[in-house]
Amino acid sequence: MCGLCGIYASDMGSNHLSAFRLLQLVTQTRGMHSTGLAAYYPEKDKVELYRAVGGLEALATSPDTSFSFDGGWKFIPDSKPRASEKAPLFYDYPELLLGHGRHATIGVIDVDSAHPFEFEDVVGMHNGTMHEYWYTKLDTYDKDMPDSYAVIKKLDQLADDEEATKEFLTTLRGEYCFVWFNRITQTLHFYRNSARSLFMTALSDNKGMAFASEEWMLNAVSNKFNLNLKVVPLGVHQYVVLAIDEIGKITVEVDEEVTPNFTTPPMNVGGYGNYYERYGGNYYDYRSEEVESLYKRVPDTNIWLSRAKFEGVASDGCCICAKDLAWDKFDDIRWHDADTPLCIECHEALEDDSKGAA
């Protein structure tokens, strides 16, 4: 579980920076293995990227990404000597701020694996876990980097081809919410499935917008600064592209047709049930034959087993008689719990004993 947040505005000012700082602070509740921040300056076509292992305090004190906060919640260059010749965090007010709090599920925990990731044409970030059998087949896969890196690098490869980007999104396998900025088209992109949430709100008479992984995070900003914001969820499989027009207004394009060619089962449930119910439909409504061949759901639970996981759990066969249990006869297996598979005969014997004792 990771946290995403950001602000995109043509009229970025100190009030936006204050709101962003608060968003990054509350985003830490979703992950503090590493923290990252990206600022984009359109006039210079430059991204300033700051990442550190740990929470926001680590980001502010890291010698590699050194900067500090003043009392007005603005970012200012650190007066201490720097370990590198990095420029100050903000030359002026940026047009885009992206923030990420990582709770690692795949990959090591270090600065290189912290989000956002910057490539030639794309800077992006991810909340979720991609399925290993899928992302390791991408030509952008790097065994030393997390799953997110491979996907965002692929989006960078496709940055100049919107139709190819959409086609790629339909192939995603896993739990995800991706946010990325395309420097070629000067557009901010959003895409998620039902396994991860994202919320948005308009700012400054539609001259800006803010987003965060959870609704209450934007409500905290609204309450803190008396903004009376209207917060809405990003729809499941809504491909949303934002841009700033010539008069500084945010324009929105929504494509409802970018849907996966199949929907993948959850790798873990976490605390997202309320979001699935409210915004994601039936999270467990999986019908794909491909899914059924790759995962099996333990009855009466929210636990899905891959074949490898099943073979580990059932390696000793039935937990009572040691009878072999086969993946291709999964429906004939009975489960005391997710770690205790039983053959039909032993399960029925247990039920008979239970009825006799009653």
33 Rama class: left (phi>0) / alpha (psi -120 to 50) / beta: alpha
Judge whether 62 and 52 are in contact, CB under 8 Å. Answer: yes
Q: How high is the pLDDT of residue 1? A: 76
Phi/psi for 309 (5° steps) reads -65, -45
Phi/psi for 353 (5° steps) reads -65, -40
DSSP 26-39: HHGGG--SEEEEEE
Q: How high is the pLDDT of residue 59? A: 75
pTM: predicted TM-score of the whole model, two decimal places: 0.71
Name residue, tokens 């699935």. 276
Q: How high is the pLDDT of residue 300? A: 74
A 10 A CB-CB count for 112 gives: 14
Q: How high is the pLDDT of residue 293? A: 56
Q: How many CA atoms lie within 13 A of 156 on its CB side?
A: 18
Q: Give the 3-state DSSP-derived string for 46-98, with helices as H, strands as E and coil as C.
A: EEEEEEEECCHHHHHHCCCCCEEECCCCCEEECCCCCCCCCCCCCCCCCCEEE
State whether the Cα torsion 176-179-182-187 is positive or negative.
positive
Amino acid at 348: E
Ranges of residues in the chain whose predicted pLDDT is under 50: 65-91, 263-291
Q: How high is the pLDDT of residue 142? A: 93
Q: How high is the pLDDT of residue 93? A: 80
